[in-house]
Structure 1
Amino acid sequence: MLYPELFKQLESVRWDMDKDIPWDKFDAAQLSDEQAQTIKMNAITEWSALPATEMFLRDNRDDSDFSAFMSIWFFEEQKHSLVLIEYLKRFRPDLVPTEEELHEVRFEFEPAPALETLMLHFCGEIRLNHWYRRASEWHTEPVIKHIYMTLSQDEARHGGAYLRYMKRAINKFGNEAKAAFTKIGVLMASARRTAQALHPTNLHVNKALFPRDTIQSRLPDPEWLEQWLDTQINFDAVWENKVVERILHNMSLLMDRSFKTVQELNRYRKEVAALVAGAPASAAPGAA
């Protein structure tokens, strides 16, 4: 089981909201209304760990190890929402999300293949790590800069934990797991070609609720994410390339094959998919 070791590792670096956040360093002159509004939206977005956890537990009923790890992930993600809310309570109480606004992002996700969902959230952690690093640079107020860097480090650790479970899945399921991971890897590393940000909170997850079946669509301002990325934290091509590089690097480690471009990963995806479909080996040259 991975859970006991991951619990010990993450417990050893867990930060304390009272002791490790420099609340006394707050500088009101360095916090604009525009910046404060984005903090509220991120606080609500982080609250969506609740329905995501419900999804993970439902779709992984046969995996008690991973389900136990959800106790760590859920706690730390909800803590992200809590620290952002605490910041607003202290310094911008007029922007504290209401219970109704938080509850609005709790809705049922349709069942999905567990391996693909695992890869989707692994990529989501990589992306959020980079978003929060950029957010820390964009903000000018010292306390929120510190908070976003703290959250970004958590997201990186969560990605590392997901990677452990992905390695375990490959050992257990072989090409089936490789096919699932490369399929989502190609999708999530191709964000520059899409009109919207590719992150779990911005993907459609319940046809019956369309078009309000994404986390972002249920926020008080459904348009905030694109504005935050494009015109506020300026998550440009340079930063997007950092995300793609991390995805390709980790796919290389997982598959024991070097991928320098999304195209190379996509070719490998086709090779593995052919093997899973039972195609002749000659149709999938070089497949692992």
Structure 2
Amino acid sequence: MFYPELFKSLEKVRWNLQDDVPWDQFDPDKITDEQLHTIKMNAITEWSALPATEMFLRDNRHDSDFCAFMSVWFYEEQKHALVLIEYLNRFAPQFVPTEEELHGVRFEFDPAPALETLMLHFCGEVRLTQWYRRAAEWHTEPVIKHIYSLLSHDEARHGNAYLKFMRRAIDRCGDEARLAFSKLGVLMANTKVAKALHPTNLHVSEAAFPNDTVQSRLPDPGWLERWLDEQISFDREWEQKVVNGILRNLSSLFGLPLQTAKDLSRYRKSLLERAQPGSNGADAMA
């Protein structure tokens, strides 16, 4: 089981809302309404860990170890929402999201294949790590800069935890897991289409379409693209950091060098070919 180990390792580095955020260093001259609005949108987006956790528990009923880990992931993700809300409560209460706005991002996600969902959320953690790093650089107010740095480190640790479960999935499911991970990896590592791809920006409920993404249910549905393009300037260089992180981890996972999305696409094609009836390469690339 991974849960006991992950609980202990994450517990050792867990930051405290009261003692590890330098609230007394707040500088009102270094924050703007524009920045406060982005903090509010990020707080509501982080709140969507609630329906994501409900989805994970439903679709992974067969895996008590992973579901137990969700108790840690859910706690830390909800704390992300809480620390951003606390910042607003202390320094700009007019921007605090309402309970109705928070509840608006709680809706039921359609069932999805567990392996693909695992990979999707791994990529999401890699992406959030870099988004929050860039947000920490963009902000000028000391306290929120520190908060975004804390969040970025948390997301990186979550990505490493997901990677452990992905490695176990390959041990248990072989090429089924490799195909699922490479399928999502090709999409997420394609710099032409992947810039804003994140679990909160993907359609997850056919019945609620087109309002079936977390971002579409925010008070400001167009916020994310503006935040990336016009505010934190998440440009090609930063996007490449995301792609490199995904490819580097998949290289380790699959045991072969993957430099580009094309390399990953070729690998996926080889998996599909050997999965055809009559193929003799059943586990040749494992």
Once residues 278 and 185 of structure 2 are traced to their aligned partners in structure 1, the CA distance between those partners, rounded to angstroms, is 22
Which residue is 2:78 aligned to?
78
Which residue is 2:268 aligned to?
269
2:114 is matched by which residue type in structure 1? Answer: A
2:239 is matched by which residue type in structure 1? Answer: E
TM-score scaled by length of structure 1: 0.97
Once residues 172 and 35 of structure 2 are traced to their aligned partners in structure 1, the CA distance between those partners, rounded to angstroms, is 46
Q: Please say if residues 41 and 218 of structure 2, whose CA atoms lie closer than 8 Å, have aligned partners that are also in contact.
A: yes
Once residues 85 and 219 of structure 1 are traced to their aligned partners in structure 2, the CA distance between those partners, rounded to angstroms, is 15
Cα separation, partners in 2 of 1:286 and 1:239, compared to 1, 3 Å: farther
Q: Return the offset for 1:273.
A: 2.4
Q: Which moved more, 1:35-44 or 1:264-273?
A: 264-273
Residue deviations 1:188-225 (CA, integer Å, cap 9, x gap): 111x3228611000000011111100000000000000
Which residue is 1:24 aligned to?
24
Once residues 120 and 80 of structure 2 are traced to their aligned partners in structure 1, the CA distance between those partners, rounded to angstroms, is 20
TM-score scaled by length of structure 2: 0.97
Correspondence 1:110 to 2:110: yes
Cα separation, partners in 2 of 1:95 and 1:149, compared to 1, 3 Å: same
Once residues 277 and 158 of structure 1 are traced to their aligned partners in structure 2, the CA distance between those partners, rounded to angstroms, is 35
Residue deviations 1:124-143 (CA, integer Å, cap 9, x gap): 00000000000000000000
Cα separation, partners in 2 of 1:29 and 1:273, compared to 1, 3 Å: same
Gap regions ≥5 residues in structure 2: none
Which residue is 1:253 aligned to?
252
Cα separation, partners in 2 of 1:279 and 1:113, compared to 1, 3 Å: farther
Cα separation, partners in 2 of 1:66 and 1:277, compared to 1, 3 Å: farther
Secondary structure in 1 aligned to 2:84?
helix
Q: Return the offset for 1:286.
A: 6.8
Cα separation, partners in 2 of 1:138 and 1:182, compared to 1, 3 Å: same
Once residues 66 and 195 of structure 1 are traced to their aligned partners in structure 2, the CA distance between those partners, rounded to angstroms, is 27
Correspondence 1:96 to 2:96: yes
Cα separation, partners in 2 of 1:250 and 1:93, compared to 1, 3 Å: same
Which residue is 1:180 aligned to?
180
Q: Return the offset for 1:102.
A: 0.2
Q: Please say if residues 188 and 194 of structure 2, whose CA atoms lie closer than 8 Å, have aligned partners that are also in contact.
A: no
Residue deviations 1:15-53 (CA, integer Å, cap 9, x gap): 000000000000000000100000000000000000000
Could you tell me the percent identity over the aligned residues?
Answer: 67
Cα separation, partners in 2 of 1:183 and 1:4, compared to 1, 3 Å: same
Which residue is 1:206 aligned to?
205
Could you say what the CA RMSD is over the residues aligned between the two structures, in angstroms? 1.4
Which residue is 2:239 aligned to?
240
Cα separation, partners in 2 of 1:49 and 1:285, compared to 1, 3 Å: closer
Q: Which moved more, 1:57-66 or 1:267-276?
A: 267-276
Gap regions ≥5 residues in structure 1: none
Which residue is 1:59 aligned to?
59
Once residues 254 and 126 of structure 1 are traced to their aligned partners in structure 2, the CA distance between those partners, rounded to angstroms, is 15
Q: Please say if residues 175 and 275 of structure 1, whose CA atoms lie closer than 8 Å, have aligned partners that are also in contact.
A: no
Q: Please say if residues 105 and 215 of structure 1, whose CA atoms lie closer than 8 Å, have aligned partners that are also in contact.
A: yes
1:259 is matched by which residue type in structure 2? Answer: L
Once residues 124 and 77 of structure 1 are traced to their aligned partners in structure 2, the CA distance between those partners, rounded to angstroms, is 13
Residue deviations 1:86-109 (CA, integer Å, cap 9, x gap): 000000000000000000000000
Correspondence 1:46 to 2:46: yes
Secondary structure in 2 aligned to 1:17?
coil
Residue deviations 1:65-94 (CA, integer Å, cap 9, x gap): 000000000000000000000000000000
Which residue is 1:120 aligned to?
120
Once residues 284 and 263 of structure 2 are traced to their aligned partners in structure 1, the CA distance between those partners, rounded to angstroms, is 12
Once residues 81 and 8 of structure 1 are traced to their aligned partners in structure 2, the CA distance between those partners, rounded to angstroms, is 23
